[in-house]
Every structure is written in structure tokens, then in C-alpha cells.
Amino acid sequence: MPFKQYLLTPGPTPVPEQIMLAMARPIVHHRMAAFGEIFREAAAGLQWMFQTSQPVLMLAGSGTLAMEAAVVNAMKRGDKALCVVGGKFGERWRNICKAFGIEVVSLDCEWGTAIDPARVAAALDGDAKITAVFSQANESSTGVRHPVEAIAEITRARDGVINVVDAVSALGAFDLPMDRAGFDVLLTGSQKALMLPPGQAYIALSEKAWHRVEKADLPRFYADLKRERKAQANAETAYTPAVTLTVGLCEALRMLKSEGLENVFARHDRLARATRAAATALGCQLFAPTAPSPTVTSLWGPAGIDTGKIVKHLANRYGVSITGGQDAVKGKIFRIAHLGYFGPFDILTSVAALEMTLGDLGVKFERGAGTVAAEAILAEGVA
């Protein structure tokens, strides 16, 4: 009998059955009234999730489309961007800006650490040409949560500078209140905390950012947010939308509203703490000990073991999918997700499978120590 498969990656994440059933309904035409009703519900739900009064635009594409849209709609020729780079997705901000001819100041931080906001302030004070700060709320390639709220405080007082936050692996998992925090551009994707398949992206802009759109002169067509804002105000999209994903989005938002945002955030925090405690009990060291992510835990592998072997063994022997490290930390770290449709027994599954894998690979540790450590924390959330 084939193994039952367990998806414990930071995206795509598991899709609940009720969302899959909703998306299995007969498709509707995107220019008819029936879809308009679906669209309005989804749009209102996204405003609730983003915690904003601004429209949240739906785009048919991955989170990278929303990242590109942020650059081409909020920047103009001659602008300079400050990009926080502490992992693969910080590098993506830098690469997108460079692709469109934007001069980039790269504010690098060691992988596994969060950016010091004082460095952002110093960079802005030292270069008046910088007009935007690009960062990640959560750098999923390293398991780091960056202090984007503090960055927003810094840019709030500078009329000529906006802050742009990639929250693809963060929004809906921990508190990122767009209006209250003062984020100028906030974006996410469908396949993370929103519990949907890949293929839809969401982006919202502050009034300060929308003023920038009027002056933006970089080439754009499909990613034209001004055109999308006009169309979506009438419950339509400029181009063919991801109809089925929008149907699923409505169901996902209903599930999240039923749970309540505070409970959603508390659940993710509890699952993250349980995963970290379990890994530590097994002798694994945290890769990001000072700024650990609430959505994915990154861990150093045991001495002498290529972490690619851990990832492959989990998948091939036990049907459990996690992810390894990339670039400079490839073979050195592995990452266990707890993002989206995750509960206590998903964590216990990942921990037990990790224990069995480490044992198979000859690592010495106290059997059961991980599950005991995880259970102590997971029990906090059991009614």
C-alpha cells in the first residue's frame, strides 16, 4: 500500500476538503452577475484579512506577479530602491527592480538573522534618492521574521519614501494590520496561509502609494494596477480572473472568519513554538534563533549529515514532504512548515517522522523526546 502523503512545506500548503469541494462546483462566467457576487464577497473578505480600508486587488498569477506589480506601479525611471536581502526572496526584490532598470541599494543581512531597522534608517538618511524600501515580513527561505512594522514607522515620516512588504508566507498567519502599521504596499499569495492552490495573488496600496502610481512610468500591461482598480471596483477584473480560485477564496475566508483572526494567529504561534521545542529536544539547533518565523521552522542538520538526505528519506520512506536549504545553506539546513491548514497532529506527525528518520540515519538522541516536548505546548490549545 502506498504511503499516505503529508504536505509540510511552506507552500503550497494543504487545501481543506471543504475548499476543494467548493472549487469543484460548475464554473461560472466571469462577466456575469453570479461571479460578481462571488467577487464582492472575496474582495470584502480580503480587506478584513489585510485589515485595511483600501481595495485589495486580485491578480491571476503567483505571488511574484504581485511583487512585480508593486515595482512597476510604484516606481519610475530614475528612482532608487532599498532592498532588504537576507534570503532568496529578498534577492527576488533586488532582481525584479534591476530587471526594470531601477537602481538598487542592497541592504544585506546574514541568512538566519533579521534586519536591524536602524540600518534602514541610516541608509535612508544617507541617500535622498531612495524612494522605496522593499522587504519580507517573513523570509521563508531562512525561517526569519523581519521587523516590517518598525520599517514602516521609519518610512511613515518620509513623504518621498514608501515601504513595500512581501507577506506571501506571512499574511493570515501572524498579525500584519496594513492600515494600523502603515504599510504602503502589502501583498500575498493564495497557496500559503489562505489554504488555496497556487495561482492567485493579492495586493493592496495605501493612499501614499496610490499617489505614486499616478507618476509611475515603468512599462506594464498585465500588471497595471490602475486598470485593475477601476475594473475591480465594479466586481470585475481587467483580464480573465482565476474564477475557481476566487470561489475557493470565499470558502477559505469564511473558515478563517469562523476561527477569528486572533485565534488564527495564536494557533500559528503555538504550532511554531511546539515545532521549535521538539527540534531542540532532538538536538537540532535553530537556524534563526533570534527572529524565528511563526510559519516555518529552519533547522541546522546534525553534524556530518547532508540535510538533503533528511528531506529525501522523509519523503521516500514515510511520505512526509518538507524542504531543504537553498544556495549557501543547501545541504546544511532543513525547514518544517506550520502554515495555513495545520493543526496539532500535523506537528506531531512531522516530529514523529523526523525522529524516525534521524534514527534511521544513525543520529543519537532520546527517542520520543521531540513528541513529548511538542505535546506539552500543543496541549495549551486543546479545549
Q: Is the predicted pLDDT of residue 73 greater than 80, yes or no? A: yes
Residue 383, pLDDT score: 52
Q: Is the predicted pLDDT of residue 211 greater than 80, yes or no? A: yes
Read off the pLDDT band of 14 (50, 70, 90). Answer: very high
Residue 303, pLDDT score: 87
Q: What average pLDDT is seen over the chain?
A: 96
Rg (CA), the chain: 21
Identify whether 12 is preceded by a cis peptide bond (ω within 30 of 0): yes
Residue 2, pLDDT score: 65
Q: Give me the residue label for grid cell 518598525.
A: 150
Q: Is the predicted pLDDT of residue 1 greater than 60, yes or no? A: no
CA distances from 262 to 49, 137, 175, 311 (A): 11, 18, 8, 33
Read off the pLDDT band of 212 (50, 70, 90). Answer: very high
Residue 382, pLDDT score: 61
* Alpha carbons 257 and 341: distance in angstroms, whole number: 14
Name the residue among 45, 296, 338, 48 with its Cα closest to residue 177.
48
* Alpha carbons 373 and 283: distance in angstroms, whole number: 12
Q: What is the mean pLDDT of residues 55-62?
A: 98
Q: Is the predicted pLDDT of residue 20 greater than 70, yes or no? A: yes
CB atoms under 10 Å from CB of 304, counted, come to 8
pLDDT tens per residue, range 163-181: 999 999 999 999 999 999 9
Q: String of b and e for 18-42 (b: at least 16 CB within 10 Å)?
A: ebeebbeeeebebeeeebeebbebb
Q: Please, what are the domains in the chain?
A: 17-258 (3.40.640.10), 260-381 (3.90.1150.10)
Q: What is the mean pLDDT of residues 89-101?
A: 97
Q: What is the mean pLDDT of residues 255-265?
A: 97
Tell me if residue 278 falls in helix, strand or coil: helix
Find out whether 337 and 10 touch, Cβ atoms under 8 Å: yes
Residue 16 phi/psi, 5-degree rounding, is -60, 150
Q: String of b and e for 105-124 (b: at least 16 CB within 10 Å)?
A: bbbebebbbbbebeebbebb
Q: What is the mean pLDDT of residues 354-365?
A: 95
Q: Is the predicted pLDDT of residue 143 greater than 70, yes or no? A: yes
Residue 39, pLDDT score: 98
Q: What is the mean pLDDT of residues 6-28?
A: 96
Find out whether 69 and 59 touch, Cβ atoms under 8 Å: yes
Residue 3, pLDDT score: 74
Residue 380, pLDDT score: 87
* Alpha carbons 21 and 198: distance in angstroms, whole number: 16
Residue 381, pLDDT score: 76
Q: What is the mean pLDDT of residues 65-78?
A: 97
Helix (H) or strand (E) holding 377: helix 369-378
Residue 306, pLDDT score: 95
* Alpha carbons 348 and 354: distance in angstroms, whole number: 10
Q: What is the mean pLDDT of residues 329-334?
A: 96
Percentage of residues in the chain with pLDDT exceeding 90?
Answer: 96
